[in-house]
Amino acid sequence: MLTWLDILRFATSGNPSPDQKVKKSDDEWREMLTEDQYYVTRKKGTERPFSSDMCQSFEPGKYACLCCKTPLFDSTQKFDSGTGWPSFTQPIKPNAVSYYKDHSHGMYRIEALCNACGAHLGHVFQDGPKPGGLRYCINAVSLEKIIPVAGEKQTVVFGGGCFWCTEAIFQKLKGVEKVVSGYSGGSIKNPTYHEVTSGLTGHAEVVEITYDPTIISFEDLLRIHITTHDPTTLNRQGADRGTQYRSVIFYRSEKEKSIIENVLDEVSPYFENPIVTEVAPFEYFYSAEDYHQNYFELNKNKNPYCSVVIEPKLKKFRELYQEKMV
């Protein structure tokens, strides 16, 4: 995740190399763009605020550079800034956008350009939403929306107690491509299982789920997560106790955060006790050691924990979500 310090460093000491470079002459750009598009992207113009519906559009998808079609932003990083220009908190990749100091109009600002073709996009400010705190204020005319197609993957990180159980559940869903057990939400890099079980690192046992949003929605994954563990017991799942077993959902954008809050509101009447699930900004995911991966499938006949704890959870899950299973 880029921070304001990264942006200042890029603008001062040089930008990361782009995945591709696109070069055209000024005449070629003028030929392929409309007058407005040419003025904004090639002459550093600014469109009038509120001049595009793109400000209020939050449908899933990516936003590419109008000039060279390189993907620059993802809808999960888009938020409503109220400024009248489409606003994002992060680029799609750290090297998608390049940054330059801009002293025009008597102001000191950081200009954002497409790192592949140099198209002017807008400016970056440090008053965006947490956790990154960045606001990319972008001209809608510099962007082209790409609607998602089957096969474009998203990831989400959930904690619901022992990751052997959580992994076994999500592996069985249609649209889920990959489930990796690991650790998230703690204070040290690359923690070991031993360190995490001490409860001192602050990490939760989690799973990272890679899914196809055209087959299974973020909302459905949230509903399944909440209803297949106990979200009402603080730092505890059954006999497993400790902060590493806390119920947690990590969000990557303000948009995801509000979807999570809506789903929690929707399901809370079904629980006898209040939901204590932590909703936290995603920072890092560390894969767990190999012997934790695919644990239930590999150990169901060996470890009694599988038959005593995991199997009953899977039974409940099968009853609830028959039609969503592989």
Among all residues, which ones are annotated catalytic?
137, 162
- Least separation in angstroms between residue 62's CB and Zn ion is 13
Give the type of residue at 239: A
Structure tokens at 197: 């079980």
Which range touches Zn ion (CB under 5 A), out of 65-73, 94-102, 188-196, 313-321?
Answer: 65-73
- Least separation in angstroms between residue 72's CB and Zn ion is 8
Among 2, 92, 116, 306, binds Zn ion (CB under 5 A): 116
Decide if residue 180 touches Zn ion (CB under 5 A): no
Count of alpha carbons within 13 angstroms of residue 267, beta-carbon side: 22
- Least separation in angstroms between residue 33's CB and Zn ion is 12
Decide if residue 121 touches Zn ion (CB under 5 A): no
Site string for Zn ion, 260-299 (x = CB under 5 A): ----------------------------------------
Decide if residue 141 touches Zn ion (CB under 5 A): no
Decide if residue 92 touches Zn ion (CB under 5 A): no
Decide if residue 112 touches Zn ion (CB under 5 A): no
DSSP 306: I
Which range touches Zn ion (CB under 5 A), out of 44-52, 106-114, 209-217, 235-243?
Answer: 106-114
| 209 closest CA partner among 160, 149, 276 | 160
Q: Closer to Zn ion at the Cβ: 45 or 213? A: 45
Structure tokens at 78: 């888009």
Decide if residue 119 touches Zn ion (CB under 5 A): yes
Residues in a beta bridge with 99: 112
Decide if residue 67 touches Zn ion (CB under 5 A): yes
CA distances from 79 to 72, 143, 177, 250, 282 (A): 15, 15, 28, 17, 17
Cβ partners under 8 Å of residue 164, min gap 6: 181, 292, 295, 296, 299, 305, 306, 310
Q: Residues 160, 165, 168, CA angle at the centre, nearest 5°? A: 120
Decide if residue 176 touches Zn ion (CB under 5 A): no
Q: What is the CA radius of gyration of the chain?
A: 23
Q: Which residue has the tokens 């005319």?
A: 141
Q: Closer to Zn ion at the Cβ: 111 or 205? A: 111
Q: Closer to Zn ion at the Cβ: 74 or 167? A: 74
Which range touches Zn ion (CB under 5 A), out of 68-76, 200-208, 235-243, 268-276?
Answer: 68-76
3-state helix, strand, coil in the chain (%, to 5): 35, 25, 40
Q: Closer to Zn ion at the Cβ: 37 or 228? A: 37
Q: Residues 223, 226, 227, CA angle at the centre, nearest 5°? A: 85
Number of other CB atoms surrounding residue 214 within 10 Å: 13
Q: Closer to Zn ion at the Cβ: 117 or 180? A: 117
Among 11, 114, 180, 306, binds Zn ion (CB under 5 A): 114
Can you tell me whether residue 218 is helix, strand or coil? Answer: helix
Q: Closer to Zn ion at the Cβ: 36 or 127? A: 36
Q: Which residue has the tokens 């390189």?
A: 70
Number of residues engaging Zn ion in binding (CB under 5 A): 7
| 115 closest CA partner among 129, 102, 100, 105 | 100
Decide if residue 65 touches Zn ion (CB under 5 A): yes
Structure tokens at 29: 């750009």
| 112 closest CA partner among 102, 104, 123, 103 | 123
Q: Closer to Zn ion at the Cβ: 19 or 80? A: 19
- Least separation in angstroms between residue 92's CB and Zn ion is 13
- Least separation in angstroms between residue 121's CB and Zn ion is 9
Binding positions for Zn ion, rule: CB under 5 A: 65, 67-68, 114, 116-117, 119
